[in-house]
Amino acid sequence: MKVQLQTYGCQMNKLDTALVSSALKAAGFGLTDGVKEADVVLINTCSVREHAEQRVLSHLGHLKHIKESRPELVVGVIGCMAQRLGRQLLEDKTVDIVCGPGQIPQIVTLVREALDGKKKTLSITEKIRQKPDKDNALDNFESAYGIEDKEIPGQAFVRVMRGCDKFCSYCVVPYVRGVEVSRPLKVIIEQIKRLAGNGVKQVTLLGQRVNAYKYSAGEKIFCLVDLLSMASEINGIEWIRFVTSFPSKEFFDEILQAMATLPKVCNYLHLPAQSGSDRILQAMNRGYSCNEYLELLNRARAVVPAIAIAGDFIVGFPGEMEEDFQATVGLVKKARYKNCFIFKYSPRPGTNADKKLEDDIPAEIKKKRNIELLDIQNKISEGLSRQFLNKTVEVLVEGPSKKSHLNRRDSEMDSTSSPHNKPQLAGRTATDYIVVFNGPQTLAGQFAKVKITKTSALTLFGELNQ
Per CB under 6 A, does 272 bind ligand 5AD?
A: yes
| Contact residue for ligand 5AD among 123, 346, 401, 455 (CB under 6 A) | 346
Per CB under 6 A, does 254 bind ligand 5AD?
A: no
**49: partner contacted, choices ligand SF4, ligand 5AD, none (Cβ within 5-8 A by kind):** ligand 5AD
**208: partner contacted, choices ligand 5AD, ligand SF4, none (Cβ within 5-8 A by kind):** ligand SF4
| Contact residue for ligand SF4 among 97, 164, 327, 340 (CB under 6 A) | 164
**174: partner contacted, choices ligand 5AD, ligand SF4, none (Cβ within 5-8 A by kind):** ligand SF4
| Residue 392 C-beta: closest distance to ligand 5AD, Å | 33
Give me the 286-315 binding string for ligand 5AD, x by CB under 6 A, dash otherwise.
--------------------------x-x-
Query: Among 26-34, 151-159, 165-173, 430-438, which window interacts with ligand SF4 (CB under 6 A)?
Result: 165-173
**48: partner contacted, choices ligand 5AD, ligand SF4, none (Cβ within 5-8 A by kind):** ligand 5AD
| Contact residue for ligand SF4 among 135, 136, 167, 358 (CB under 6 A) | 167
Per CB under 6 A, does 345 bind ligand 5AD?
A: yes
Query: Among 171-179, 256-264, 369-377, 422-430, which window interacts with ligand SF4 (CB under 6 A)?
Result: 171-179
| Residue 361 C-beta: closest distance to ligand 5AD, Å | 12
Query: Among 129-137, 169-177, 296-304, 368-376, which window interacts with ligand SF4 (CB under 6 A)?
Result: 169-177
Per CB under 6 A, does 166 bind ligand SF4?
A: yes
Per CB under 6 A, does 208 bind ligand SF4?
A: yes
Q: Which is nearer to ligand SF4, 164 or 281 (CB)?
A: 164
**Interatomic CA distance for residues 171 and 345, integer angstroms:** 10
**Interatomic CA distance for residues 189 and 338, integer angstroms:** 30
Binders in 133-172 for ligand 5AD, by CB under 6 A: 170-171
**Interatomic CA distance for residues 333 and 280, integer angstroms:** 18
| Contact residue for ligand 5AD among 48, 56, 203, 396 (CB under 6 A) | 48
Q: Which is nearer to ligand 5AD, 3 or 168 (CB)?
A: 168
Q: Give me the residues that bind ligand 5AD (CB under 6 A), please.
A: 48-49, 170-171, 272, 274, 312, 314, 343, 345-346, 348
List residues near ligand SF4 by CB under 6 A: 164, 166-168, 171, 173-174, 208-209, 246
